[in-house]
Amino acid sequence: MKSDEIKYGVQNAPHRVLYNALGYTAEEQSRPLIGIVSSYNEIVPGHMNIDKITEAVRIGIAMAGGTPIVFPAIAVCDGIAMGHQGMKYSLVTRDLIADSTECMAMAHGFDGLVMIPNCDKNVPGLLMAAARMNIPTIVVSGGPMLAGTVNGCKVSLSAAYEAVGAYAAGKINDEQLKEYEEKTCPTCGSCSGMYTANSMNCLTEVLGMGLRGNGTIPAVYSERIRLAKKAGMQIMELVRKDIRPRDIMTKEAFENALTIDMALGCSTNSMLHLPAIAHEAGVEINLDIANQISDKVPNVCHLAPAGQHHMEDLNEAGGVYAVMNEINKLGIIHTECMTVTGKTVGENIAGAVNKNTEVIRPVENPYSKTGGIAVLRGNIAPDSCVVKRSAVAPEMLVHEGPARVFDCEEDAMEAIMTDKINPGDVVVIRYEGPKGGPGMREMLNPTSAIIGRGLGSTVALITDGRFSGATRGAAIGHVSPEAAVGGPIALIEEGDIIAIDIMANTINVKVSDEELAERKKAWTPKEPRIKTGYLARYSALVTSGNTGAILSVPQK
């Protein structure tokens, strides 16, 4: 056992002194030491129940003969951080979470880890740490929120953001807006649509790093507590069999994740997180692979914001395993991959039943024959950009219109809310990328305002920033290279005609190469917006969105 190096021998008597000071008995010290990375806090609705999940994991570990030891991970609520400077601190926490978990686990010699994330950056951050450290690890999330109900219809967080736009346009009154405030998010848990948190928790199951139900069992169900106990027990099997994250998170496992990503219609943020996790596991994922997979994977689920179904509906329909088994009819799942169950993917999904063909459509009758996410390229984004194709109105899959150019989110939001954006426009928000933001802010406010004001079927938005999983419409993000490094998005001028063809995977500004070259000569970099603190360090190290916005290692 790894912990034996710090527990036994005369030279380790001081270590035993400190374990004694912590109250651990000799019997507890003799067992495998299992770290529990708890993301519990009192500011994120998806994390407020993690204390109960943590206690259930503790019980499971102890039942199976291990010694559970809890330490924390931070979490930012993207919803609360949205629309102000706080959003600069969202994506950047992914690396803080990975780094701090590495520090704690390696400093204290744990034999195994149980990771308890739930929201947007905690899931990928902890998976990055797991792949980097490569000690036996299992993930169990806090679970999704139940959908709210407004006017007799199920709703999720995106409805509240869109209600703001509707209110500004005079489509709803104070009382109606108040109803959205009070009823949209009725329970704890990660917000109830196929947003980033739920996307990544579902993909954790697909990767093989979480048990069945990790992504879909609602936070308030007692089944979630039972799942946590099972995870605590199962980590002991992984330790005994020495099954490690890199045994599980292989190239084929990431291909499975991309495949089910397309089938589910996950958040475009998965196109940042999966490459970053893969990088830590020594696996290369480029976005060309994503398009190749998308071309052969039907989109079989339309969860909010793309449709009317929510995570609880997916859970009742059979969950992630049912989706995987449905897609496996096409023979495009790597069924031989190992998982934290100790069994292969094929063994796990065998017999998983699709209990509701409205929620999980059969592969013979999909929403579309291609996947939910598309990667576009063109003279605006030579290194790629991404769009949640499954959440785009059909009439916006091909669009051409004049550019309305803004150098920050706030300026764009002001224009949208004061009726300065017209049907047919293409809103361009730049200098919001990983370096330029810094921090690659999500653009849920402007996209929701566009939808709420009734412009979702006539206006597109492109940015070198990114979008919440709650975004719907022709919202194209991760434009790479970003404006801050002189990418072509920095060269677009007000009124330039932008041509978007999502089905053909292209995005171009209708300006000659010669004109763009002249504009590039005249372009000068902007002064960094933030020059001190963590964001300044992050900006100096972070790479482009098309590489997963990973942090580069300075070269000697």
Residues belonging to the active site: 468
Do residues 162 and 139 make contact, with C-beta atoms less than 8 angstroms apart? no
Instruction: Give the H/E segment covering residue 154.
Output: strand 153-155
C-alpha angle 287-292-297 in degrees, rounded to nearest 5:
115
Do residues 476 and 460 make contact, with C-beta atoms less than 8 angstroms apart? yes
Residues 6 or more apart in contact with residue 377 via CB below 8 angstroms: 383, 384, 385, 505, 506, 507
**Closest CA relative to residue 264, chosen from 444, 123, 390:** 390
Do residues 38 and 71 make contact, with C-beta atoms less than 8 angstroms apart? yes
Cβ count near 433 (within 10 Å)? 31
Cα–Cα distance between 84 and 90 in angstroms, integer?
11
Cα–Cα distance between 549 and 92 in angstroms, integer?
9
- Token pair for 309: 């179904």
State the DSSP string of 42-105.
SS-TTTTTHHHHHHHHHHHHHHTT-EEEEEE-----HHHHTTSGGGGGTTTHHHHHHHHHHHHH
401 vs 22, 375, 386, CA distance in Å?
65, 20, 19
φ, ψ of residue 416 in degrees (nearest 5): -65, -45
Cβ count near 288 (within 10 Å)? 11
